[in-house]
């Protein structure tokens, strides 16, 4: 594909770049304390407002894998993939009400610190090293690779390496200013992301309307989607039976109907939003009221994300189905979003590239800051130089940011990790999903059950990983396709497969059993357990209003699209 960008596209992108970098520099200049204060550099302690926290959470969460991957899933299965976004809104309510008070009361700044205080130093060190490897070699690399590929496709397909370096440098500029710069520039990033994303969705719907003879009417375009692809507008995918086609089975394997709401969907969201340094770091420096409001604001924003990252995929499906997107013939579902962008007029392409760049750079900056925080506070300060000054720790953090970004560029330069072969969304889910059941079990029991022991925590992480691999790769070969715990389905490749989210739920259940049994052999109250009381979890009226509004909107969405 040759570049079809014109002057107005470049101008829009240039204005976006100048706006973000200028605002970031202004924020940095206003508070140079960040040069010597670790809590301010890593956490922006006390300086992020609720709206900055909420915007930063969304900016860090939405990246190329959502724009490309979730749009592709919208093309394939439809609105059911919105569960990842909408259940996240409920997960964020749970985090705001029950998780954050525990973190803040115990002055938790990093997830390894939580594990050290609640369990022991061994658990903290094991998980700190694991998270560093995961963030650098899975998350940072995949965000950078997917982002470069997506933007490269829009600008002509001949500048992959240049774009890769540009994204890395842009993220470095923001990250080296500290969490306050990241948090406040994320407000602009989210604004660009939402405006550009909604513009793309609006255009996609008007194109559908035009192709079906309804003029440039976005509402008419949405009605066309619902009438032409009604199967794409059901949240619950039916369980396959003997008459189901392979396509219907494949959809169920990705999103296993009502069953996923009793299994992995909650683990994915609660672990991601509540036990993940990359995410929780935004709220750990604030007071409880500000943190809660920011998290709930992010939950409200999550409700609208499917409009931006999923609906264009359904539009691409309807257009392709009716012969208007022949370029998708034989291609993967991940090409759906790019195919829609091909319809964009001059100027809007620049806005769409800016929106994609905003999502990618915000995610890269947030991830790099988390890598820096864990390495500096949980490894360097504890094991290499316990007497290091605040200023030295900040500079170690900055060097860590630079090194981690360079490693990501090196490993994505020729795609050494094979991200392109597996697909970025699959690559991330595969390597983070295997560890999620054990990590979440370790956190949830550590917070709310005083008896949980450090030995049980280590056993939980190992058990969760082993069982995740077993259920995903070997269970059907050992126990067959049908047991009391699961039903496996033919995957079209001559094998039987258990839906991934069901595997995650089973792994979590058995991991919890192992941890509980091991902890019962220990003292009735672990000396390192947290002191919690019901007053910690009380919410004020304004917080309660936000929660009720979120739940009402969510109820209406599920009632409409069930």
Least confident of 18-27, 405-414, 503-512: 18-27
35 located within any domain: yes
pLDDT of res. 548:
96
Scanning the structure block, which residue is given the tokens 């496996």? 488
Which residue stretches of 106-178 are H helix? 111-118, 121-134, 141-155, 160-175
SS3 per residue for 447-487: HHCCCCCHHHHHHHHHHHHHHHHHHHHCHHHHHCCECCCCE
Q: Whole-number mean pLDDT of the chain?
A: 85
Q: Could you tell me the two tokens for 329?
A: 């013939």
Handedness of CA 414, 415, 418, 420 (dihedral sign): negative
CATH for 41? 1.20.1730.10
Whether residue 88 has pLDDT greater than 50: yes
496 located within any domain: no
452 located within any domain: no
Q: What is the mean pLDDT of residues 109-118?
A: 89
Which H or E element spans position 10?
Answer: helix 7-30
- Using one digit for the tens of pLDDT, what is the confidence trace for 512-546? 999 999 999 989 999 999 888 888 899 999 999 99
Q: What is the mean pLDDT of residues 154-174?
A: 82
Least confident of 128-132, 286-290, 348-352, 433-437: 348-352
Look at residue 329 and give its three-state secondary structure. Answer: coil
pLDDT of res. 454:
93
191 located within any domain: yes
534 located within any domain: no
Give the integer Cα–Cα distance in Å for 460 and 471: 16
Q: How far is it between the farthest Cα atoms of the chain?
A: 72
Tell me the residue ranges of DSSP E strands in 2-156.
Answer: none
Give the integer Cα–Cα distance in Å for 316 and 257: 23
pLDDT of res. 276:
85
pLDDT of res. 370:
87
Q: How many CB atoms lie within 10 A of CB 560?
A: 10
Q: What is the mean pLDDT of residues 342-351?
A: 77
Which residue stretches of 374-453 are H helix? 390-413, 419-422, 424-433, 436-448
For residues 118 and 530, the answer to whether their CB atoms sit within 8 Å is yes
Best CA proximity match to 197, nearest among 340, 317, 75, 77: 340
243 located within any domain: yes
559 located within any domain: no
Domain that holds residue 175: 7-20+29-421
Look at residue 511 and give its three-state secondary structure. Answer: helix
Q: What is the mean pLDDT of residues 235-243?
A: 89
Whether residue 428 has pLDDT greater than 70: no
Least confident of 24-38, 149-163, 314-328: 24-38
Q: What is the mean pLDDT of residues 122-145?
A: 87
Q: How many domains does the chain have?
A: 1
306 located within any domain: yes
pLDDT of res. 1:
39
Helix%, strand%, coil% for the chain, nearest 5: 75, 0, 25
Least confident of 158-162, 199-203, 246-250, 466-470: 158-162
């Amino acid at each position: 594909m040759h570049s079809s960008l014109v002057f107005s596209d470049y101008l829009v992108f240039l204005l976006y770049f100048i706006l973000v970098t200028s605002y970031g520099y202004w924020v940095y200049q206003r508070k140079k304390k960040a040069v010597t204060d670790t809590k301010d550099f890593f956490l922006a302690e006390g300086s992020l407002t609720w709206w900055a926290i909420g915007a930063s959470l969304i900016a860090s969460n939405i990246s190329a894998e959502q724009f490309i991957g979730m749009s592709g899933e919208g093309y394939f299965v439809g609105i059911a993939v919105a569960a990842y976004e909408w259940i996240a809104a409920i997960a964020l309510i749970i985090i705001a009400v029950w998780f954050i008070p525990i973190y803040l009361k115990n002055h938790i700044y990093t997830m390894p610190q939580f594990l050290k205080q609640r369990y022991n130093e061994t658990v903290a060190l094991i998980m700190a090293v694991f998270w560093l490897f995961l963030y650098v070699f899975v998350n940072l690399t995949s965000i950078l690779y997917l982002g470069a590929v997506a933007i490269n496709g829009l600008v002509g397909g001949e500048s992959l390496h240049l774009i890769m370096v540009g994204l890395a440098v842009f993220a470095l500029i923001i990250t080296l200013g500290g969490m306050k710069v990241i948090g406040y520039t994320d407000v602009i990033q989210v604004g660009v992301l939402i405006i550009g994303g909604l513009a793309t969705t609006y255009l996609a719907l008007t194109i559908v309307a035009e192709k079906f003879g309804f003029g440039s009417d976005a509402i008419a375009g949405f009605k066309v989607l619902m009438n032409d692809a009604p199967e794409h507008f059901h949240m619950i995918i039916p369980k396959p039976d003997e008459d189901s086609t392979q396509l219907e089975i494949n959809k169920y394997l990705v999103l296993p109907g009502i069953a996923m709401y009793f299994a992995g969907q909650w683990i994915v969201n609660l672990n991601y939003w509540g036990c993940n340094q990359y995410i929780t770091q935004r709220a750990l420096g604030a007071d409880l009221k500000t943190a809660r409001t920011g998290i709930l604001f992010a939950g409200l924003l999550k409700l609208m994300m499917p409009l931006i990252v999923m609906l264009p995929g359904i539009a691409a499906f309807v257009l392709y189905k009716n012969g208007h997107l022949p370029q998708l013939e034989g291609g993967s579902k991940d090409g759906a979003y790019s195919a829609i962008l091909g319809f964009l007029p001059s100027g809007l392409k620049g806005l769409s590239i800016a929106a994609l760049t905003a999502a990618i750079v915000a995610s890269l900056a947030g991830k790099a800051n988390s890598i820096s925080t864990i390495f500096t506070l949980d490894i360097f300060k504890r094991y290499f130089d316990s007497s290091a000054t605040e200023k030295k720790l900040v500079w170690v953090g900055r060097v860590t940011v630079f090194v981690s970004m360079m490693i990501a560029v090196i490993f994505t330069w020729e795609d050494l990790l094979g991200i392109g072969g597996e697909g970025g969304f699959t690559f991330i889910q595969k390597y983070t999903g295997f560890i999620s059941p054990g990590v979440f079990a370790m956190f949830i029991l550590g917070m709310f059950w005083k008896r949980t022991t450090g030995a049980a925590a280590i056993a939980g992480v190992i058990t969760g990983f082993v069982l995740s691999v077993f259920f995903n790769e070997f269970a059907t070969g050992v126990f067959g396709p049908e047991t009391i715990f699961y039903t496996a389905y033919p995957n079209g490749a001559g094998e039987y497969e258990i839906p991934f989210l069901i595997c995650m739920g089973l792994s979590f259940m058995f991991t919890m059993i192992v941890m509980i049994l091991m902890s019962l052999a220990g003292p009735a109250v672990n000396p390192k357990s947290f002191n919690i009381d019901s007053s910690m979890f009380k919410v004020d009226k304004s917080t309660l209003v936000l929660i009720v509004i979120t739940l009402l909107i969510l109820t209406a969405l599920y009632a409409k699209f069930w």
